[in-house]
Structure 1
Amino acid sequence: MTPEPNSVRTDRPSARRSLEGLALGDAFGERWFPLVRDHPRAYAEIRARLTPHEPVWHWTDDTAMALGVLRVLDQHGEVRPRELAQAFALGHDADPARGYGHGMRQLLPRLVQEPERWPELARELFGGEGSLGNGAAMRVAPLGAFFHRSLPLVAEQAALSARVTHAHPEGVAGAVAVATAAALSVRGELDLTAVAAATPASAVRDGLTEAAGVPFSTEPWKAADLLGSGRRVRADDTVPFAVWCAARHPADLVSALWTTAEGFGDVDTTCAITGGIVAARTGVDGVPQEWLRRREALPGAS
């Protein structure tokens, strides 16, 4: 039996660490998008570990929505879908230029006035199939850290958080996988096989199973070719590679982010996922101060 959320001792400090790493990965990854089309130059700069030159690294919708998740958890101790729908909608309404995807640009303005209609509105996306994108996965790592003491509860709450915007089973599976990885990271037990085992039957789980068989000695670009790195903006094309990168460097956030960037693809999202997972354990204390100064501040930062 899955325990009730309020009966489990939650861990806000770990969730906040995860959020900080997620935002850093999001902002760091976003810096590479202007160079992605110039593949040789971008790849050379990433391989040389050249810090992006922009003076301010802005985060995107990945972080904006993660802030909504953590706000609801802080206020209620659990996912409450109506309140989460409203948090996402108001975040978008306040700052719609954060790079939201097509589905969210359709959905979130409607939820501002009618957050209670989230089940039917989310299901209407993409011809009634619901979104199988990576949006539910990109924002959920802090939730996994928050509930890390109960993996069944992590899976339940992650699925509930996903369905607010991503009704397709693949979108839900992506969120469960990332939240589980973040929970295991806090516990010092991050393992691809364990993440796959906790993920519902899906292409996401199949990808994680494949990722578990990819040696960590594999060049990141090759792993991305095998597993996908978000170019199709689908959960199954994004989550396995990001979790593989996190598991490759479970105690080294900087190395994990560079590895993830080498995969190109949807770089801000893959780096946000990796950053949220690894930082749930490490925080951002080992990150160069220059990076932390450049990354856009988060609301409520201490």
Structure 2
Amino acid sequence: MPLPEAPRTPDAAPDAARDSLEGLALGDAFGERWFPHLRHGQAALTQIRERRTPEESLWKWTDDTAMALSVHRILTIHGAVHQDQLAEAFAAAYLDDAYRGYGYGMHQLLPELARDPSSWRTGARTLFGGEGSLGNGAAMRVAPLGAWFHEDLDEVAEQAAFSAEVTHAHPEGIAGAVAVALAAALAARSRGAAAPLPAALLHEVADRTPAGPIAEGLRQAAALPGDTAPSRAAEILGNGMRIRASDTVPFALWSAAHHMDSLTDALWTTAEGLGDVDTTCAITGGTVAARTGTAAAPTSWHTRREPLPPWLAAS
């Protein structure tokens, strides 16, 4: 399938994408702070429910943000996903700091891409016994892309799939990226207007997501009331503990859909689901911030979050 060389990039697209990236990074860093506390079980859950922030003075972001930065950089340079260039960007970020929490598959693949970026075509497909990765890594980084292409949902789905294929060849890994990008696009479309109704948003995303466990999980999420306890919602929909896209995306987007006007509330709700909390919060944060931006989040969160790289300011 040929890649478009000059897709439309409306004036609002870069702003929405940058807001989404900032929200993704904030959610990632906020969520990551809970991992040292999770071994204490109920104590961590109580702290989250009482809205008491983690005590660390610096909230470092993880591979979720590192890879999202690469996606955003390729969009600002080329206006579309150029897969070999994206593979090269992923590999460069990995070599710069391989200790950002990358998963097993990426430790296998990204060093190969550093030697030959075009090798993703075979390398991504040989992971996990030749099935390709069905993990949540393509979904965790893609919200800014959805915001970028928000005026054309077909293009959102196509570009999200392109971005996923570089590392996640399994249809489930690709579908996870498509779903998150669509949700972020719908959020970005609603900037300055009423928020989409949660069930309607989740159904539209499900209808445009390739058939399979993620689309079904989104339909299950659409039927789940917004006043469901987050821990119960995570029990039903998954909280990322299995590191599969199908176990991560439905809950993160359920949380986002029910908090489209408050990034802060969205992140607290997502954190309450525990599990792979940096990734679920990155997905939720990137989706909601595509609509709201990050300005309303607590000032202390902004000052504690590790800064994004200086090159971003010039992009």
Answer yes or no: same fold by TM over 0.5.
Answer: yes
Task: Give distance in 1, aligned partners of 2:8 and 2:254.
Answer: 29
Task: Give distance in 2, aligned partners of 1:254 and 1:271.
Answer: 11
Matches within 5 A, 1:122-201: 122-188=124-190, 189=196, 191-201=201-211
| Match of residue 70, structure 1, among 38, 55, 72 | 72
Task: Give distance in 2, aligned partners of 1:170 and 1:113.
Answer: 27
Matches within 5 A, 1:1-302: 4=4, 6-10=6-10, 11-188=13-190, 189=196, 191-299=201-309, 300=311, 302=313
**TM-score normalised to the size of structure 1?**
0.98
Q: Is the 8 A contact 2:243 2:276 kept in 1?
A: yes
Secondary structure of 1:6 counterpart: coil
1:180 maps to a residue whose letter is: L
Task: Give distance in 2, aligned partners of 1:3 and 1:65.
Answer: 20
Give aligned-pair identity as a percent: 60
2:292 maps to a residue whose letter is: T
Task: Give distance in 2, aligned partners of 1:72 and 1:239.
Answer: 24
Quote how far apart the aligned CAs of 1:9 are.
2.7
Root-mean-square deviation (CA), in Å?
A: 1.3
Task: Give distance in 2, aligned partners of 1:65 and 1:233.
Answer: 16
Quote how far apart the aligned CAs of 1:117 are.
1.2
Quote how far apart the aligned CAs of 1:98 are.
0.3
1:128 maps to a residue whose letter is: G
Task: Give distance in 1, aligned partners of 2:97 and 2:7.
Answer: 35
Task: Give distance in 2, aligned partners of 1:7 and 1:34.
Answer: 43
Runs of 4+ in 1 over 4 A off after TM superposition: 2-5
Secondary structure of 2:6 counterpart: helix
Secondary structure of 2:90 counterpart: helix
Q: Is the 8 A contact 1:245 1:260 kept in 2?
A: yes
What are the Cα deviations for residues 166-216 of structure 1, in whole angstroms up to 9, with x where unaligned? Answer: 000000000000000000001124611111111001111110011000000
What are the Cα deviations for residues 93-115 of structure 1, in whole angstroms up to 9, with x where unaligned? Answer: 01001000000000000100111
Secondary structure of 2:218 counterpart: helix
2:6 maps to a residue whose letter is: N
Quote how far apart the aligned CAs of 1:7 are.
3.9
1:227 maps to a residue whose letter is: L
2:255 maps to a residue whose letter is: C
2:187 maps to a residue whose letter is: S
Task: Give distance in 2, aligned partners of 1:278 and 1:107.
Answer: 31
Task: Give distance in 2, aligned partners of 1:53 and 1:171.
Answer: 34
**TM-score normalised to the size of structure 2?**
0.94
What are the Cα deviations for residues 70-113 of structure 1, in whole angstroms up to 9, with x where unaligned? Answer: 00001100000000000000100010010000000000001001
Q: Is the 8 A contact 2:240 2:248 kept in 1?
A: yes
Quote how far apart the aligned CAs of 1:149 are.
0.4
Equivalent residue pairs, number: 301
Q: Is the 8 A contact 1:20 1:279 kept in 2?
A: yes
Q: Which runs of 5+ in 1 are unaligned?
A: none
